[in-house]
Amino acid sequence: GAVVSQHPSRVICKSGTSVKIECRSLDFQATTMFWYRQFPKQSLMLMATSNEGSKATYEQGVEKDKFLINHASLTLSTLTVTSAHPEDSSFYICSAFSGRVGWEQYFGPGTRLTVT
C-alpha cells in the first residue's frame, strides 16, 4: 500500500505557542489530504479537507484561524495549531487520497500533541 509520513510523531509545547505538523505522501501524489483529530478511545473526527493549491475546507465547529492548513504540493500538507491550549492536546492524524478509483485513504502514523 501507499506510504504516508507525519512529522513530528510527538510534540510537547507550552500554552500559547504554535506547532506545525507535516504530512507527506512518499510514493504517490495526493490530490487530497484529510486532517483528523482523535481523543483517547474515541473515533476519528474529520477536521478539514485539504486540496493542493486551494483553500482547505473545514468541518463545522473547527476554527480555521486556529488550525491553519496549507497544501503546498501534491506530496505535502501542513497543519499549524496556533496559540495552542491544553484542550488542543490530542492525536492528530492525516490521510492522503491518490484519486484512484475506489479512493482508499492512507493514514499517516499520527502526531501526539501535548500542550502544557
Please list every residue from 55 through 84 that binds another protein, using CB under 8 A.
none
The stretch near another protein (CB under 8 A) out of 12-20, 40-48, 66-74, 81-89 is 40-48
Please say whether the beta carbons of 90 and 38 come within 8 A: yes
Residue 30 sits in the site that holds another protein (CB under 8 A): no
Q: Read out DSSP for 58-106?
A: EPTT--TTTEEEEEEETTEEEEEE-S--GGG-EEEEEEEE---TT--EE
Q: Which of 30, 33, 34, 37 binds another protein (CB under 8 A)?
A: 34
Q: Any residues with CB less than 8 A from the CB of 107 and at least 6 apart, and which?
A: 4, 93, 94, 95
Please say whether the beta carbons of 110 and 93 come within 8 A: yes
| Shortest separation between residue 60's beta carbon and another protein, angstroms | 12
| Shortest separation between residue 108's beta carbon and another protein, angstroms | 6
By CB under 8 A, the count of residues binding another protein is 19
User: What is the contact surface with another protein in residues (CB under 8 A)?
Assistant: 1, 32, 34, 42-46, 49, 93, 102-110
